[in-house]
Chain A
Amino acid sequence: EVQLVESGGGLVKPGGSLRLSCAASGFTFSSYRINWVRQAPGKGLEWVSSISKTSSYIYYADSVKGRFTVSRDNAKNSLYLQMNSLRAEDTAVYFCAMGSTNYDFFDIWGQGTMVTVSS
Chain B
Amino acid sequence: QSVLTQPPSASGTPGQRVTISCSGSSPGGYSISWYQQFPGAAPKLLIYNYSQRPSGVPDRFSGSKSGTSVSLAISGLQSEDEADYYCSVWDDSLNGPVFGGGTKLTVL
A interface residues (Cβ-Cβ under 8 A, vs B): 35, 37, 44-47, 49-50, 57, 59, 61, 95, 97, 102-107, 109-112
Residues of A within 8 A of B88 (CB): 45, 105
Other-chain residue from B48, B86, B89 in contact with A102 (beta carbon distance below 8 A): B48
Sampled A-B contacts (11; CB under 8 Å) = A47-B96, A49-B96, A59-B94, A59-B95, A104-B31, A104-B33, A104-B97, A105-B49, A105-B97, A106-B35, A107-B54
Q: Which residue of A lies closest to B95 (CB)?
A: A59
The answer to whether A110 and B42 touch (CB under 8 A), given A45-B102, A47-B94, is yes
Q: Which residue of B lies closest to A110 (CB)?
A: B42
Q: Which residue of A lies closest to B42 (CB)?
A: A109
* Inter-subunit contact A105/B45 (CB<8 Å): yes
The count of residues in chain B whose C-beta lies closer than 8 Å to any C-beta of chain A is: 25
B90 at the binding interface (Cβ < 8 Å): yes
Q: Which residue of A lies closest to B84 (CB)?
A: A44
Residues of A within 8 A of B49 (CB): 105
Residues of A within 8 A of B102 (CB): 44-45
Using a Cβ cutoff of 8 Å, how many contacts connect chains A and B? 63
Best-buried of A46, A49, A50, A105 by chain B (most CB within 10 Å): A105
CA distance A97 to B42 in the complex (A): 10
Q: Which residue of B lies closest to A108 (CB)?
A: B45
The answer to whether A47 and B99 touch (CB under 8 A), given A104-B30, A105-B48, A107-B54, is yes
Q: Which residue of A lies closest to B99 (CB)?
A: A45
CA distance A81 to B89 in the complex (A): 23
Residues of A within 8 A of B96 (CB): 35, 47, 49-50, 59, 61
CA distance A105 to B33 in the complex (A): 7
* Inter-subunit contact B99/A111 (CB<8 Å): no
Nearest CB on A from B18, distance (A): 19
Residues of B within 8 A of A95 (CB): 42-43
Q: Which residue of A lies closest to B28 (CB)?
A: A104
CA distance A116 to B42 in the complex (A): 18
Contacts of B22-55 to chain A: CB distance below 8 A? 30-31, 33, 35, 41-45, 48-49, 54
Residues of B within 8 A of A35 (CB): 96-97
